[in-house]
Amino acid sequence: MSIEKILTLSIIGTILLTFGFLSNNPTSLPTAAFSQQNSGSSSAVIITPGAADEGNFEPFAPNAINVMPGSTVSWTNEDSTEHTITANEGGSGGAPSLFDSGPIPPEMVWDNTFDSPGTFGYHCVIHPWMTGRVMVG
């Protein structure tokens, strides 16, 4: 790989990590975590129309996504109701979930950066039958 490609990927990674940090910064205003357009992150998941219907077999498309460490995943809510992206497991020592979007309004996007390898299951707190996973590594 050429030095130009490595530098370009490094700059893009830094930008994505910065956006991910800002979107998850607890001191930000609640609406600051959402945008109306995909921020250009590396991977995208759609919250599908009708996702809240228990009979919907694909509330998240794709349902499982593979990314490299340091990647940002963007969830776009294309449904007509709010949804959350909430980690199935909490943080260490009884801490809150590893990630939690809070309610994502329709037509909005929420980003999260995954720095550590592993498999991260998630669900919608409002509609707990909606599940998906991010595999990092």
Q: What is the reported pLDDT for 92?
A: 54
**Domains in the chain: boundaries:** 3-136
* 136/67 Cα distance (integer angstroms): 5
- 31: which DSSP letter? G
Q: Where are the alpha helices (DSSP H) in the chain?
A: 3-24
pTM for the whole thing?
Answer: 0.68
Over the range 34-43, which residues count as b (16 or more CB within 10 Å of their CB) and which as e?
bbeeeeebbb
pLDDT > 80? residue 19:
no
CATH code matching the domain that covers 3-136, chosen among 2.60.40.420, 3.20.20.140, 2.60.40.180, 3.40.50.300: 2.60.40.420
Quickly count: other Cβ atoms within 10 Å of residue 79's Cβ: 23
Q: What would the pLDDT profile of 39-77 be if each residue is shown by its tens digit?
A: 444 699 999 999 999 999 999 999 999 999 999 999 999
Q: Is 136 left (phi over 0), alpha (psi -120 to 50) or beta?
A: beta
- Give the list of residues 6+ apart from residue 11 with CB closer than 8 angstroms, or none: none
